[in-house]
Amino acid sequence: MNDARRPGRLGVGVVGTGRVGAVLGSALRAVGHVVVGASGISADSRERAEALLPGVPLLDVADVVERAELVLLAVPDDVLADLVQGIASLGGWQPGQLVVHTAGRYGTAVLEPALRAGAIPLAIHPAMAFTGTSLDLARLDGTTFAVTAPGPVLPIGQALVIELGGEPVVVAEDARAVYHAALDDGTHQLAALVARAAQALEAAGVERPGRLLHPLLASALDAATHAADRNAAAVQDPPTPL
């Protein structure tokens, strides 16, 4: 461990330097944590790591896990469970090691093999579309993160999100599937709506329909999401009967 490291700073290993992993690794580095290693398979992932995590060694997954106090698993949902089990089979997880995944679909049950080895499981999902560039670093500020963790370590996950500039929202383990489906449904419906509107505008002779739609739909989305918050608050805190 680097003796010059600020108190409370961790050695972070990034497993998966796709759009999410490289950006979150860079954000953790920006607040004083030390990224001790990263892994990426594709050429794009390796280039992204070099751009956002300059000087960080690109290593095999096992070496990244061995070096890290906090392991950030930013891999596709469909490979996460096998990855966690594979590392466990090699004896890679360490007691007291923080293991954080970013998959929206799962809570911490998928990290059970790491938990059995004494690691601390956290599920942290940023509700944001990533470009995988430095532009995302500023966009993390104020972004909501779903945080799922066992009760005693939930504050660790919340503190980590706050460090990244995000706003933590606790999502229960058994609600992660519903949470993920809601985000997925909303994203796809919005994309379909924009595509239909753009096609209609093109038929009307508008050359750049996106430019026309953006301010209109942005204001409509802002109004709709604020209305959703007001409605949710009204349900949670109904008027006191006379």
Write down the pLDDT at residue 77: 94
Q: Give residue 166's pLDDT.
A: 97
Q: Is the distance from CB of 127 to CB of 158 less than 8 angstroms?
A: no
Which tokens is 169 given? 């929202």
Q: Report helix, strand or coil for 98.
A: strand
pLDDT at position 41? 87
**Residue 1: what pLDDT?**
39
pLDDT at site 188: 87
In 3D, which of 229, 191, 163 has the Cα closest to residue 28?
Answer: 163
Which stretches in the chain have pLDDT values below 50? 1-4
d(CA 5, CA 7): 6
pTM of the model: 0.85
Please give the Cα distance from 52 to 23 (Å, whole number): 7
pLDDT at res. 242: 53
Q: 76 and 105 in contact (C-beta within 8 Å)?
A: no
Q: Where in the chain is the domain with CATH 3.40.50.720?
A: 11-171
Fold adopted by 11-171: Rossmann fold (3.40.50)
Looking at residue 139, its pLDDT comes to: 94
Q: Which residue has the tokens 């490979």?
A: 79
Cα 71-72-75 angle, rounded to 5 deg:
130
pLDDT digits 0-9 by tens, 121-160: 999 999 999 999 999 999 999 999 999 999 999 999 999 9
* Whole-number Å distance between alpha carbons of 57 and 191: 38
How confident is the model at residue 238, as a pLDDT?
A: 61
